[in-house]
């Protein structure tokens, strides 16, 4: 168990290390050279140096026994430094996950202890040239080697694609088909018949080594089959999806904030049309504040999901998918807006936001693409909708109406409008069988993610008002700031759910012309329009908070 003090110390060491060893010039140079700084990655994973990986290794194997919440905080911080290096460190987290979840006690002792004590680097080998989103298409095989009627080992053959740390890891977890189905194997570097390609020439995360692997009859002893039972591989992978997707969500969050934290100070110094850009609404209210709102909505969902995983609520795969989807999409939007915010300078290498934008692009692709996240979210919540006869989101909305009664400023009433609208759109989709169109199913996934994040952020703002937020939670904004951010995001979410929900219902022929006005009212579109009142003053307020002007405004008002 890691205390808040230890966590804060680890974050501080990480920041200081980055400041010293990874200044912008070094990062830009490595990015230009397309080079993975292996010495840095090893330093970060070395137990006698930074020892980041100790955080997630259980105490019984020499680690610090960090929980999901701790690992999220570290992942966000790493992403703020460099997403390529963060990916290299994460590869060891991911690579050892099948072991943490599914290995025998002996295997855990060997491999997790080696990660803790020797700082060995892992790679996670699931994807193949023909099997990306659809891992069921896996072709790598593990053939049993039998001696005296007993399985003594396996011969693994196949190809893996896009493997982070592929060319630099000490050990690999490789997914392969055994006669009983997909299974994880641990393969060490240098095994006979095991090779990797040259690193890929990538769009971003150029400081991370990504390489294809080839396995040609690679022999491993039977004790390298994770868990000792064949056919458990996909279950073991799924058991940690909630957790691993939260880590990538934290990457999107950290990278998005890292870009905004360059744009915000830049805009205070850049004078155009007689004043700093930070004073211009057309700038802050388009490029900065909405991105802050989306990132903080995603943060809220990440933190809640991390707390629930740590409380033992299960793997929470759907919640992990919502967190990843929202945070990585928001991170991409924030980085793109930051390029715009720096104008021509933003488009050059020197100012870093261009690199961050290229880097953060990967987060909507690896660990499950955004489209796969949309599908995962939609399919799961669709079942909830059916099981509750369409009441799932109406019931949730009632909880937010109750929250609004206690905390009238946190946007819970608007989050409730989003949920009622969602319930009505989903019910209409059911009545008219609209989800037979895959596009509609996936768009519903997006709307669900927005509505749930609006609720989560309103809950977070209420907790902040009560001073009951998790002690490890990010506290960049005070209660008034967070409440304003929550109202901004809830308005966006509610309008999106209602307007786009209607768009797809109408677009697939779910309503006749005559039925449209009544359905608009039923889904709450007029109420959602009315809830936009106050939007500009909330945008003004959050801009003031971000630029340190809020206190002055309060003073002036007094």
Ligand X SMILES: Cc1cc2nc3c(=O)[nH]c(=O)nc-3n(C[C@H](O)[C@H](O)[C@H](O)COP(=O)(O)OP(=O)(O)OC[C@H]3O[C@@H](n4cnc5c(N)ncnc54)[C@H](O)[C@@H]3O)c2cc1C
> Which stretches of the chain bind ligand X, using CB under 6 A?
91, 124-127, 132-133, 162-164, 202, 205, 210, 362, 365-366, 368-369, 371-372
CA 478/CA 410 separation, integer angstroms: 12
Q: φ, ψ for residue 43 (rounded to 5)?
A: -60, -45
Closest to ligand X by CB, 363 or 456: 363
A 10 A CB-CB count for 310 gives: 17
Written as six digits, the tokens of 517 are 């006005």
Closest to ligand X by CB, 72 or 162: 162
DSSP 122: E
Written as six digits, the tokens of 476 are 């960049």
Q: Smallest distance from the beta carbon of 172 to ligand X, in angstroms?
A: 10
Q: Smallest distance from the beta carbon of 426 to ligand X, in angstroms?
A: 20
Closest to ligand X by CB, 165 or 486: 165
Which residue is nearest to ligand X, using beta carbons? 132
Q: Smallest distance from the beta carbon of 170 to ligand X, in angstroms?
A: 15
Q: Smallest distance from the beta carbon of 130 to ligand X, in angstroms?
A: 8
Written as six digits, the tokens of 105 are 């006690």
Contact 142/149 with Cβ under 8 angstroms? no
Q: Smallest distance from the beta carbon of 88 to ligand X, in angstroms?
A: 10
Closest to ligand X by CB, 241 or 400: 241
| Range list of β-strands (E), 84-164 | 122-125, 141-147, 150-164
Closest to ligand X by CB, 189 or 529: 189
Contact 509/432 with Cβ under 8 angstroms? yes
Q: Characterize the bridge pairing of strands 122-125 and 171-178.
A: parallel
Closest to ligand X by CB, 134 or 147: 134
Q: Smallest distance from the beta carbon of 476 to ligand X, in angstroms?
A: 29
Q: Smallest distance from the beta carbon of 293 to ligand X, in angstroms?
A: 26
Closest to ligand X by CB, 218 or 414: 218
Distances in whole angstroms, Cα of residue 205 to Cα of each of 75, 318, 345: 15, 27, 21
Written as six digits, the tokens of 166 are 């592929």
3-state secondary structure of 275: strand
Closest to ligand X by CB, 140 or 300: 140
Q: Smallest distance from the beta carbon of 180 to ligand X, in angstroms?
A: 21
3-state secondary structure of 253: helix
3-state secondary structure of 276: strand
3-state secondary structure of 88: helix
Closest to ligand X by CB, 214 or 365: 365
Which DSSP string do the residues of 162-228 spell out, in sequence order? EEETTTT-SEEEEEEEETTEEEEEEEETT-TTEEE-PPP--SS-TTS-EEEEEEEEEEEEGGGBGGG
3-state secondary structure of 332: helix
Q: Smallest distance from the beta carbon of 126 to ligand X, in angstroms?
A: 3
Closest to ligand X by CB, 123 or 528: 123
Distances in whole angstroms, Cα of residue 188 to Cα of each of 168, 169, 192, 313: 11, 9, 10, 34
CA 252/CA 364 separation, integer angstroms: 8
Contact 140/101 with Cβ under 8 angstroms? no
Q: Smallest distance from the beta carbon of 285 to ligand X, in angstroms?
A: 31
Closest to ligand X by CB, 182 or 368: 368
Residue 509, sorted as left (phi over 0), alpha (psi -120 to 50) or beta, turns out to be: left
**Which helix (H) or strand (E) segment is 45 a member of?**
helix 38-45
Single out the residue of 37, 35, 62 nearest to residue 51, CA to CA.
62
Contact 53/115 with Cβ under 8 angstroms? yes
Q: Smallest distance from the beta carbon of 362 to ligand X, in angstroms?
A: 5
Closest to ligand X by CB, 77 or 97: 97
Q: Smallest distance from the beta carbon of 218 to ligand X, in angstroms?
A: 17
């Amino acid at each position: 168990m890691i205390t808040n003090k230890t966590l804060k110390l680890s974050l501080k060491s990480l920041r200081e290390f980055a400041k010293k060893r990874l200044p912008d010039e070094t990062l830009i140079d490595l990015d230009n050279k397309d080079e993975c700084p292996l010495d840095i990655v090893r330093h970060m994973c070395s137990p006698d140096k930074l020892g980041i990986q100790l955080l997630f290794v259980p105490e019984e194997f020499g680690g610090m026994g960090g929980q999901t919440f701790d690992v999220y905080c570290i992942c966000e911080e790493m992403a703020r430094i460099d997403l390529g290096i963060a990916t290299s460190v994460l590869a060891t987290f991911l690579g050892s996950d099948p072991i943490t979840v599914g290995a025998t006690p002996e295997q855990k002792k060997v491999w997790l202890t080696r990660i803790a004590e020797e700082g060995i680097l892992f790679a996670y080998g699931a994807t193949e040239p023909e099997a990306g989103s659809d891992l069921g298409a896996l072709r790598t095989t593990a053939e049993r080697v039998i001696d005296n009627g007993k399985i003594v080992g396996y011969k693994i053959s196949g190809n893996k694609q896009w493997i982070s740390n592929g060319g630099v890891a000490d050990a690999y977890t490789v997914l392969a088909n055994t006669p009983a189905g997909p299974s994880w194997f641990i393969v060490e570097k240098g095994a006979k018949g095991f090779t990797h390609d040259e690193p890929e020439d990538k769009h971003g995360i150029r400081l991370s080594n990504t390489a294809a692997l080839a396995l040609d009859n690679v022999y491993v002893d039977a004790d390298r089959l994770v868990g000792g039972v064949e056919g458990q591989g996909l279950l073991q992978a799924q058991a940690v999806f909630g957790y691993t997707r939260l880590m990538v969500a934290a990457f999107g969050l950290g990278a998005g904030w890292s870009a905004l934290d360059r744009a915000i100070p830049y805009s205070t110094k850049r004078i155009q049309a007689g004043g700093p850009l930070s004073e211009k609404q057309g700038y802050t209210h388009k490029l900065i504040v909405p991105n802050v709102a989306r990132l903080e909505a995603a943060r809220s969902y990440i933190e809640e999901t991390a707390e629930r995983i740590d409380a033992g609520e299960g793997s929470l795969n759907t919640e992990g998918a919502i967190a990843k989807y929202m945070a990585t999409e928001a991170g991409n939007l924030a980085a793109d807006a930051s390029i715009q915010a720096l104008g021509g300078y933003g488009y050059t290498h020197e100012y870093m936001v261009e690199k961050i934008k290229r880097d953060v692009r990967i987060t909507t692709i690896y660990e499950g693409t955004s489209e796969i996240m949309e599908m995962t979210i939609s399919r799961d919540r669709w079942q909830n909708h059916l099981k509750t006869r369409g009441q799932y989101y109406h019931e949730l909305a009632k909880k937010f109406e109750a929250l609004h009664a206690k905390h009238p400023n946190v946007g819970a009433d608007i989050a409730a409008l989003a949920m009622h609208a969602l319930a009505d759109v989903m019910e209409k989709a059911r009545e008219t069988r609209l989800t037979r169109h895959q596009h509609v199913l996936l768009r519903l996934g997006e709307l669900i993610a927005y509505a749930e994040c609006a609720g989560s952020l309103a809950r977070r703002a209420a907790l902040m008002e009560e001073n009951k937020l998790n002690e490890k939670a990010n506290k960049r904004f005070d209660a008034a700031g967070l409440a304003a951010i929550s109202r901004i995001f809830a308005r966006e979410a509610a309008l999106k759910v209602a307007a786009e929900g209607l768009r797809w219902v109408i677009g697939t022929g779910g309503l006749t012309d005559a039925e449209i006005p009544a359905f608009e009212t039923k889904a709450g579109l007029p109420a959602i329009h009315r809830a936009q009142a106050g939007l500009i003053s909330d945008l003004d307020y959050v801009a003031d908070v971000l630029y340190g002007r809020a206190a002055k405004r309060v003073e002036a008002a007094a």
